[in-house]
Amino acid sequence: MSAWYVFSAMGFYPVNPAEAKYQLGAPLFKKISIKIGPEKRFVITANKDSDKHIYVKEVFLNGKKLDRTWISHDEIINGGELQFVMTDQI
């Protein structure tokens, strides 16, 4: 359960490891950086301007808007940025 919580706090979590896909959620932090290799990182950012910004409005992967609710393992290990646009409204 602790591994699931760490994933979920970053804004995504594995639902079915056999598919190598991670379901998107809502991150708890403004910025997290995962070191993928010696010079590669996967950075998760969220505009959490206040404690009321808990709803995800849209998500961008490397500057492109995602039209799906998941990311792949390959997208993570390739490095880049996952940006969550948060809002205080449903």
Q: 19-56: string of b/e by CB count within 10 Å (b at 16+)?
A: eebbebbbbeeeebeeeeeeeeebebbbebeeeebeeb
pTM of the model: 0.92
What domains are defined for the chain? Answer: 2-87 (3.30.2080.10)
For 19-58, the pLDDT digits (tens) are 999 999 999 999 999 999 899 999 999 998 888 999 999 9
| pLDDT at site 65 | 98
- Partners of 42 in beta bridges: 34, 80
Q: How confident is the model at residue 1 (pLDDT cuts 50, 70, 90)?
A: low
Distance CA 81, CA 21 (A): 17
